[in-house]
Chain A
Amino acid sequence: MSEVGITLDSLLGQLLLGLVNGSFYAILSLGLAVIFGLLNIVNFAHGALYMMGAYFGWIALTYFGVGYWWSLVLAPSLVAVFGMLVERTLLQWLYKLDHLYGLLLTFGVSLIIEGTYRYFFGVSGQPYPVPELLSGSTDLGFMTLPNYRGWVVIASLGVCLGTWFMIERTRLGAYLRAATENPKLTQAFGINVPLLVMLTYGFGAGLAAFAGVLAAPIIQITPLMGNNLIVIVFAVVVIGGMGSILGAVATGLALGVIEGLTKVFYPEASSTVVFVIMALVLLVRPAGLFGRET
């Protein structure tokens, strides 16, 4: 425990930081939820796709001089294309089988991606600078917040809200929801369900990559960065239940904040608190906080 006292200031500061982390959890669990909703596959490769997004940003900057803002758009697009390729060539054969095979396949894919990146880039990682516009920090009174972190919260929330809007309020989203409920019927109505599936996986991959680019200036970009994160995101998803979009986002944010609080009061436990909560939720409400069925 820190010998420095816990003041209101430091508490508020930690809460804000927790929000920043929660934003990452939110985007990543959102991507997982979207993919699971339609494909019924737990995308173990999500962490690897996140890592690919970050690396894209680094490669773009180092070799092509392409800056952060472009990467925010390009990385998700390219990784989405990659995701769609994976879906078409590998995943689509598994839909008729037990869902577990999807988990296993994406696990294998994540190993391949990670191994390849490790081979080319080593494990120490690469640095990525904070973009000019967002550098520096703002004195909020109770803490000095680096501007970039504030941007992370805004960008994540924006993307999450945008996704929610698209799925709940647009026609495309309506098709998606219909296909999730009853793919055969939707297909019978003339909607190209396989195309929708492919696009959905790509979209999920893109979300992961977006989170990766957001993360690049904050943590060291290494091929291992997806690993630890993915297990926590899984726990987040189990807690939230994969029933609703807003549920995934809310749970991600909440857990980030809770983790932040733990870091103040009992820092040693901050890595396991999410799992403990998961165990508790399982005891009390097995379907998850926002889940619909078991």
Chain B
Amino acid sequence: MKRIMFGLIASTVIAISGCSKSNDVDEKVTDGEIKIGVLTDLSGLYSDIGGQGSIVAAELAVEDLGGEVAGYKVKIVSVDHQNKADIAAQKVREWIDRDGVDMVTDALNSAVALATAKVVAEKKKIMMNTGAASTRLTNEDCTAYTIHHAYDTYALANGTGTAVVKQGGDTWFFLTSDYAFGHSLEADTANVVKKAGGTVVGAVRHPLSASDFSSFLLQAQNSKAKIIGLANAGGDTINSIKAANEFGLTKTQNLAGLLVFITDIHSLGLPVTQGMYVTSGWYWDLNEETRAWSKRFFDRMGKMPTMINAGVYSTVMMYTNAVRATGTDNADVIMEWLRNNPQSDMFGTNMVLREDGRLLHDMYLMQVKKPSESRGEWDYYHVRQTIPGADAFQPLSESRCPLLSGQTG
């Protein structure tokens, strides 16, 4: 249905733009091709949540577009930044200067995304970040050429915090990774919990990549809080969940994973994660459309997509929509168009792009199923609540983005 609508709009736009040929270079797509770069981590810590899956997602988008938009070919290039910001920045510059890349997507890893945002803004191209979680992308480091898609730490804290308190989990104890990311995740969630009427009973900070969480969890257990918020990510989250189970914590208390991907659940297994609350921007089993798309993804990757992968697909669609509608790949024009035209695709409906670069879309509060409730691999979540985009993300009034005060980006 949506496709037909777009097809109609697209053909109309093409027809119209075909009639008005202009020799002005700015009006046409430069070098006759639309190149989109998937900047991801193929070999490091984040390769499972983005990685090859993001590349496949982008390719699926190109297939759905028939390989071209408004008469221009669409090409995907990709790079493994190996979790190194300087390799990423280097490659992005090369992409833009030498290879004519117009849009960079994924950008897994906050340091990479932040560095890339600057490069992209300098060269007047667009970055649509789905991989990095840092809210700095739409606050201190916002630019007129950044779109923050899929999720960010605020939305995760907000979603899980508010929703869990409403579900009855009103006393919290935090297990926090002792660095900026962990602190801000804890702070954001604590605020939200208190606003929703809950109390924060205590917190303990553990060093990054601590292999053993037993001592910290012991303290969590002693706190008798109903909910243990895991303000950490990746291997730390996985190990804390494992240890929590081992110490019988999960019998009397519930875990709330503040940054958990479906691949983490998959690698831990349901017996250990059941009952845990998780917020996500997307889930493969949300509706018919997501299921169909995810099946295509699964056939190629052998595993289900994460919200980051799905986000990449969405960014390609959004970008090409804009190109089709405006007839150009001029970044300013495209960003303006996107801000005025809410997008809908497999990822979400009516996704609004704000001036600070934040893309608003629905978030979902999930709870991990019990093993008995799951029909098979990857069937892991109950969708407990849909959080509308306008409520999920940091309000514009609280934003620290310099663009908002009227300065030019």
A contact residues vs B (CB 8 Å cutoff): 1-4, 7, 10, 13-14, 17-18, 20-21, 115, 118, 122-127, 130, 137, 143-144, 146, 148-149, 217-220, 222, 224-225, 228-229, 260, 263-264, 267-272
Mark interface residues in B224-264 (1 if CB within 8 Å of A CB, else 0): 00000000000100110011001110000000000000011
Residues of the A chain whose Cβ atoms lie less than 8 Å from the Cβ of B345 = none
Mark interface residues in B204-241 (1 if CB within 8 Å of A CB, else 0): 11111111101110110011000000000001001100
Assess the A228–B216 pair: CB atoms within 8 A.
Answer: no
Q: How far is the CA of A222 from the CA of B238 in the complex (A)?
A: 11
B contact residues vs A (CB 8 Å cutoff): 43-48, 178, 201-212, 214-216, 218-219, 222-223, 235, 238-239, 242-243, 246-248, 263-264, 266-269, 272
Residues of the B chain whose Cβ atoms lie less than 8 Å from the Cβ of A270 = 206-207, 210
Assess the A127–B242 pair: CB atoms within 8 A.
Answer: yes
B48, B205, B212 — which one has the most chain A CB atoms within 10 A of its CB?
Answer: B212
Assess the A123–B246 pair: CB atoms within 8 A.
Answer: no
Q: Would you give 24 A-B contacts (Cβ < 8 Å), ordered by A?
A: A2-B204, A3-B201, A3-B202, A3-B203, A10-B218, A10-B219, A10-B222, A13-B215, A13-B218, A14-B218, A18-B215, A124-B48, A137-B248, A144-B248, A146-B247, A217-B246, A220-B239, A228-B209, A229-B211, A267-B216, A268-B206, A269-B207, A270-B206, A271-B210
Residue in B205, B212, B223, B263 whose beta carbon sits within 8 Å of that of A218 in the complex: B212
Assess the B238–A124 pair: CB atoms within 8 A.
Answer: yes
Assess the A4–B267 pair: CB atoms within 8 A.
Answer: no
Q: How far is the CA of A243 from the CA of B151 in the complex (A)?
A: 53
Q: How far is the CA of A90 from the CA of B211 in the complex (A)?
A: 31
Assess the B246–A146 pair: CB atoms within 8 A.
Answer: yes
Residues of the A chain whose Cβ atoms lie less than 8 Å from the Cβ of B207 = 267-272
CB distance from A29 to the nearest CB of B (A): 16
Q: Which residue of A lies closest to B217 (CB)?
A: A17
Assess the A2–B212 pair: CB atoms within 8 A.
Answer: no
Assess the A20–B211 pair: CB atoms within 8 A.
Answer: no
Residues of the A chain whose Cβ atoms lie less than 8 Å from the Cβ of B218 = 10, 13-14, 17, 143
With A4-B222, A228-B211: A130-B246 Cβ-Cβ less than 8 Å: yes
A118, A263, A268 — which one has the most chain B CB atoms within 10 A of its CB?
Answer: A263
Residue in B43, B211, B223 whose beta carbon sits within 8 Å of that of A4 in the complex: B223
Residue in B201, B215, B267 whose beta carbon sits within 8 Å of that of A127 in the complex: B267
Residues of the A chain whose Cβ atoms lie less than 8 Å from the Cβ of B272 = 127
Assess the A4–B263 pair: CB atoms within 8 A.
Answer: no
Residues of the B chain whose Cβ atoms lie less than 8 Å from the Cβ of A225 = 211
CB distance from B282 to the nearest CB of A (A): 19
With A2-B219, A3-B203, A267-B204: A20-B242 Cβ-Cβ less than 8 Å: no
Assess the A149–B214 pair: CB atoms within 8 A.
Answer: yes
Kindly list 6 other residue pairs between chains A and B, CB separation below 8 angstroms, not including A3-B203, A124-B263, A228-B209.
Answer: A13-B215, A126-B267, A217-B246, A219-B243, A220-B268, A263-B216
Q: How far is the CA of A220 from the CA of B209 in the complex (A)?
A: 12
Assess the A4–B219 pair: CB atoms within 8 A.
Answer: yes
Q: How far is the CA of A144 from the CA of B251 in the complex (A)?
A: 13
With A124-B48, A127-B242, A229-B211: A220-B235 Cβ-Cβ less than 8 Å: yes
Residues of the A chain whose Cβ atoms lie less than 8 Å from the Cβ of B210 = 270-271
Q: How far is the CA of A270 from the CA of B178 in the complex (A)?
A: 11
Residue in B215, B248, B264, B266 whose beta carbon sits within 8 Å of that of A17 in the complex: B215
Residues of the A chain whose Cβ atoms lie less than 8 Å from the Cβ of B268 = 127, 220
3 interchain residue pairs of minimum CB distance:
A271-B207, A3-B202, A124-B267
Assess the B47–A123 pair: CB atoms within 8 A.
Answer: yes
CB distance from A269 to the nearest CB of B (A): 8
Assess the B203–A2 pair: CB atoms within 8 A.
Answer: yes
A13, A123, A137, A217 — which one has the most chain B CB atoms within 10 A of its CB?
Answer: A123
Q: How far is the CA of A229 from the CA of B206 in the complex (A)?
A: 16
Assess the B212–A21 pair: CB atoms within 8 A.
Answer: yes
With A20-B214, A125-B235, A137-B248: A271-B242 Cβ-Cβ less than 8 Å: no
Q: Which residue of A lies closest to B206 (CB)?
A: A267
Q: How far is the CA of A130 from the CA of B208 in the complex (A)?
A: 25
B178, B222, B223, B239 — which one has the most chain A CB atoms within 10 A of its CB?
Answer: B222
CB distance from A3 to the nearest CB of B (A): 4
With A130-B246, A137-B248: A124-B264 Cβ-Cβ less than 8 Å: yes
Residues of the A chain whose Cβ atoms lie less than 8 Å from the Cβ of B212 = 17, 20-21, 218-219
Residues of the B chain whose Cβ atoms lie less than 8 Å from the Cβ of A271 = 207-210
CB distance from A218 to the nearest CB of B (A): 7
Residues of the A chain whose Cβ atoms lie less than 8 Å from the Cβ of B263 = 124
Residues of the B chain whose Cβ atoms lie less than 8 Å from the Cβ of A143 = 218
Q: Which residue of A lies closest to B303 (CB)?
A: A122
With A10-B222, A218-B246: A268-B266 Cβ-Cβ less than 8 Å: no
Assess the A268–B209 pair: CB atoms within 8 A.
Answer: no
CB distance from A2 to the nearest CB of B (A): 5
With A123-B48, A126-B267: A148-B246 Cβ-Cβ less than 8 Å: yes
Residue in B45, B178, B235, B238 whose beta carbon sits within 8 Å of that of A268 in the complex: B178
A13, A124, A228 — which one has the most chain B CB atoms within 10 A of its CB?
Answer: A124
Q: How far is the CA of A217 from the CA of B269 in the complex (A)?
A: 13
Residues of the A chain whose Cβ atoms lie less than 8 Å from the Cβ of B222 = 4, 7, 10
Q: How far is the CA of A123 from the CA of B206 in the complex (A)?
A: 21
